[in-house]
Amino acid sequence: MPKMKPKLLFVSITNKANGAENILLQAARASNASLLFLKKVESGGLNIPIDQQVEYVSNGSILSGFSRLIKSLSPYRTDHIIFSTHPYLNAFLGFLKRIGYLKSKLIVRECSSVLTRYSGLKKLSYQIAYWLGYPGVNLVVCQTNSMRDSFVQHLPYIDKRRVIIQKNPIDIEQNLIKAEEALPPADAAIEFICAAGRLIPEKGFDILIMAFDEIKASQPNLQLLIFGEGPEQASLQKLISELKLEGRVVLKGWVANPMPYFKHAKACVISSIKEGFPNVLLQMMILNPVVISTNCAGGIDEIPGIYLAEADNVNSLTTTVNTALSTNSNHKDLIMQYVEDRTPEIFIKSILNALV
């Protein structure tokens, strides 16, 4: 008798086009599965294909989404595999498993190492959430060796045999297609380097702006374009003004398709201080031969063909950007070999094979 194909459901807090949500969308597409979001955002959402089955629990607050989630999960209580991301949501679903409401298997993905990233009351809230919910989880997916090591160290009550490492996926073909879109004429006419991500302290955009201030004299025609939205926008704009970089550093906001910018930039930069693994790095790598990254996550120092800088270090990032811009080298073949086994299909198949 042939083995039945598992019925999957992918769950996240919002449909905001962040790295974790993009990974869930890729996995859902690869496995022909449904998506469920607690809240639908008004702007900056994922570009979800029209044939993708998706449900939004709430158009209001995230708290409202949590309160209605139990009812929305009713069709998936048994005979499914539920895959979620973000620690609070993971813990909530794990708690529903522990009390017997959910009988389906539960896989959770760690989007970052929150227990080393935060301190004080916020860290305590995560510790409580993990303690309440994660014992009910069937499988925990970490992005890197260092993330798994941190997880098992901080949560010794979780059976480490249920904690696996699975590299983030990248849909190479789709990203190459998106990169063919033309740049707006004004941007096509300039030389630029670019960065992308939520405007939060952990992304290190202030470090990048200060590094750009150091290289501006040697690159008089170069601009820095930063894509993304977030709570640090005002402080970053203030820094740009203080350094008199208006017109040289531009906060572009949220852009539905930044791939053409990654392709045409003189260099792409990851300036993060600490991450689980920056998903945008993979997109940059397949589209541009000149990629600079800080050592903000485990495994980045093992990536061939990129330029590595120290995290949270203006001088190191300045030197590395200058080196990358002045070196005429192309490591495209090495980079493509690195990403070729990161397809969404391999990603979800490997995880399901680890589920017992």
Angle of helix 62-72 relative to helix 87-98, nearest 10 degrees?
Answer: 30
Host domain of residue 133: 8-165
221 shares its domain with 310: yes
The verdict on residue 350 lying in a domain is: no
212 shares its domain with 183: yes
pLDDT score of 1: 40
pLDDT score of 118: 86
CA atoms within 13 A on the CB side of 312: 7
The verdict on residue 351 lying in a domain is: no
Angstrom distance (rounded) from CA 223 to CA 271 = 16
Query: Residue 10's closest CA among 130, 114, 141?
Result: 141
150 shares its domain with 187: no
The verdict on residue 353 lying in a domain is: no
The verdict on residue 352 lying in a domain is: no
Number of domains in the chain: 2
202 shares its domain with 68: no
pLDDT score of 341: 87
Q: How far from chain centre, in Å, is Cα 182? A: 25
The verdict on residue 87 lying in a domain is: yes
197 shares its domain with 78: no
The verdict on residue 125 lying in a domain is: yes
Q: How far from chain centre, in Å, is Cα 72? A: 26
Q: Is 118 exposed, middle or buried (0-12, 13-18, 19+ CB in 10 A)?
A: middle
Each residue of 117-131: pLDDT tens digit?
A: 889 999 999 999 999
H helices present in the chain, as ranges = 19-30, 62-72, 87-98, 114-117, 120-133, 145-154, 172-178, 185-188, 205-215, 233-242, 259-264, 279-287, 314-326, 332-339, 344-354
- Check which CATH number belongs to the domain holding 244 and give it: 3.40.50.2000
Angstrom distance (rounded) from CA 6 to CA 2 = 12
Angstrom distance (rounded) from CA 305 to CA 329 = 9
154 shares its domain with 202: no
pLDDT score of 276: 83
The verdict on residue 119 lying in a domain is: yes
223 shares its domain with 294: yes
Angstrom distance (rounded) from CA 211 to CA 356 = 48
Query: Residue 288's closest CA among 313, 306, 315, 273?
Result: 306
Give the number of residues written for the chain. Answer: 356
pTM over 0.85: yes
* Contact between 72 and 36 (Cβ < 8 Å): yes
Side chain identity, residue 110:
E
Residue ranges in the chain whose pLDDT is less than 70: 1-4, 356
* Contact between 209 and 245 (Cβ < 8 Å): yes
pLDDT score of 3: 54
pLDDT score of 4: 58
The verdict on residue 295 lying in a domain is: yes
pLDDT score of 348: 96
Q: What is the DSSP string of 231-255?
A: TTHHHHHHHHHHTT-BTTEEEEE--
Each residue of 206-258: pLDDT tens digit?
A: 999 999 999 999 999 999 999 999 999 999 999 999 999 999 999 999 999 99
335 shares its domain with 194: yes
